Amino acid sequence: SQKIEQNSEALNIQEGKTATLTCNYTNYSPAYLQWYRQDPGRGPVFLLLIRENEKEKRKERLKVTFDTTLKQSLFHITASQPADSATYLCALENYGGSQGNLIFGKGTKLSVKP
């Protein structure tokens, strides 16, 4: 079955630096991969989706890359701010499951210090 891993449980960085979060998966390569943000006590919120034929995708200070050879996605936040502090989840299709079924990583908790 598909497995998804986010290498770091927690990442601490200084304000203004670039945060880089990693998502690795095993087995099959998905057609696309999604990133979500979750604040404490709240539900996840969708941020970005990148397709397998897209090497890179950007949205404001966010950048996502997708390397199907390495079976890895990187999520970057440039010029990070304390307000970026949250848990970030990656997700992809639970292949073999019924339609619409995503599998989520356990998340990386990002703390941006002023």
> In the complex, which residues of this chain contact other proteins (CB under 8 A)?
30-32, 34, 41-46, 49, 89, 91-94, 98-102, 104-107
Q: CB of 16: closest distance to other proteins in angstroms?
A: 30
Q: Residue 110 corresponds to which amino acid?
A: L
Closest distance to other proteins from the beta carbon of 24 (Å): 15
Residue with smaller CB distance to other proteins, 45 or 79: 45
The CA distance from 29 to 18, in Å, is 27
Burial class (CB in 10 A: 0-12, 13-18, 19+), 58: exposed
Residues pairing with 72 in the sheet: 24, 67
Least distance to other proteins, CB of residue 37, Å:
11
Nearer to other proteins, 80 or 87 (CB): 87
Which CB sits closer to other proteins, 49 or 70?
49
Quick check: 33 and 73 in contact, CB under 8 A?
yes
CB of 79 to other proteins, least distance (A): 26
| Identity of the residue, 58 or 106, whose beta carbon is nearer to other proteins in the bound complex | 106
Yes or no: say if 49 and 33 are a contact pair by the CB < 8 Å rule: yes
